[in-house]
Every structure is written in structure tokens, then in C-alpha cells.
Chain A
Amino acid sequence: GAVVSQHPSWVICKSGTSVKIECRSLDFQATTMFWYRQFPKQSLMLMATSNEGSKATYEQGVEKDKFLINHASLTLSTLTVTSAHPEDSSFYICSVPGRESYGYTFGSGTRLTVV
């Protein structure tokens, strides 16, 4: 499968500021990447599908103006949490479909804490 690097692994920010999370596919050109959110002791919820060179596809209930996704190249997708609030504190994980049929590789995740 693909090798995926996600950065930063953790971040603390003040309310009202914006935070950018990067997801890089190191050895695979990914036209699609997925962004998930995980609340403590809960499952992963798909937030959006990032599409290289076009707009992201957001899941129902996800605010696209708050969670900005940019997939500028085949190896990089970014998620920006704009005007963050404490309720945005969560674990965010990206994933990349791999070469093998239906194989997915996940980033190590980013723990965001908004204070």
C-alpha cells in the first residue's frame, strides 16, 4: 500500500485561529484522499473526499466553509480548520487508497485541541 505522512501529529491552538493539517502520499500518486474525524472512544466518521484538481466532496452535515480542503497535487491534501472552536477538538485522520485493490493506508493522525 501507499506510505502516508500526516503532519502535525498534534496541535494546540486558541479559539478563533485556523489550523492546517497536511497529508502526503509519499510513494503513490493519489487522485483521491479521504479525511476522517474521530471523537474520543468513538468510530471514524468520514468528513470529505479530497479530489486532486477539483473541489472536495463533503459528507452530509460537514461545514465546507469551516473545514477547507485543498488537493493541489497528486501527493498532497490539506485540511484547514478555520476559526477553530473547542468543539472542533478531535482526532483527524487522512487516508489514501493504495495500489492494491481496495487497500487503504492511513496517516498517523492529528490531535487538535482548541483552547
Chain B
Amino acid sequence: GDSVTQMEGPVTLSEEAFLTINCTYTATGYPSLFWYVQYPGEGLQLLLKATKADDKGSNKGFEATYRKETTSFHLEKGSVQVSDSAVYFCALSDRGGAQKLVFGQGTRLTINP
């Protein structure tokens, strides 16, 4: 079945550092790919998405490019802030199925001032 694998955390960085969180996927079809962010005690918020190969999703300084050849959707940000501290989830949705989301295990990010 479909699956998503994320880089294991936790990840701790200093403010203004460069961030990469790796995400790779396995899917039988042509999935849409997502990054969600979860702040403490809250539900999930969509951070960005890409629906086809070579698409780049971007939001709030974060970017991720849908790479079909490497089945990856790595999240990047050039300069992180303390407010970016949260748990980040990579996810996919198989268009041909029931459109339910399959999540990676999540990566906890902590940014120190």
C-alpha cells in the first residue's frame, strides 16, 4: 500500500539556520503530496501542497518540490524562526482512491533563539 517516510526527529536548530526535512513516498498511482504543520495542542494546518511532478509548493518561506524520479518531497526553509517550532507531517493522497491521507511519522522541530 501507499506509505510515507520522513526523516526522524527531533530536529533542533538555531534561529536563521537552513532547514531540510526529508520525505519520500511509495504509491502505486500519481499521488498529491502535502506538508502539514501541528503546533502544540492544536490540529493540523496545511502548509503547502503539490499535485503533480515538478510542481513546487511554497508558503511562509517554506518550499517543497514534487520529485517523481526520486519519489521525494523534501521540505526546506532558508532561515528558520523560533515561531517555526512545531511538528511537521508529510502526507500523500492517492487520487484514484478514497482520497484519504497517508501520513509520515512526523518530525518535531525546535528552533532556539
Taking Cβ atoms with an 8 Å cutoff, the residues of A that contact B are 1, 6, 32, 34, 41-44, 46, 49, 57, 93, 95, 97, 101-109, 111
Contacts and interface: CB of A to CB of B under 8 A. Distances in A.
Interface string B42-85: 11111001010000000000000000000000000000000000
A41 B45 CA distance: 17
Contacts of B98: 32, 49, 57
Interface residues of B, number: 24
A108 B45 CA distance: 9
B99 interface: yes
Contacts of A57: 98
Given A93-B43, A97-B99, 7 more contacts: A41-B106, A41-B108, A43-B104, A43-B105, A44-B89, A46-B102, A102-B95
Contact of A102 (B45, B89, B99, B103): B99
A109 B43 contact: yes
A93 B43 CA distance: 7
Contacts of B41: 109, 111
Contact of A43 (B43, B95, B100, B106): B106
A44 B51 contact: no
Contacts of A108: 42-43
Contacts of A49: 98, 100
Most buried by B among A32, A44, A101, A108: A44
B7 interface: no
Contacts of A104: 34, 46, 93, 101
A101 B51 contact: yes
A102 B98 CA distance: 11
Contacts of B43: 6, 93, 106-109
A42 B49 contact: no
A19 B71 CA distance: 41
A44 to B, nearest CB: 5
A102 B49 contact: yes
B38 to A, nearest CB: 9
Given A42-B105, A43-B104, A43-B106, A103 B99 contact: no
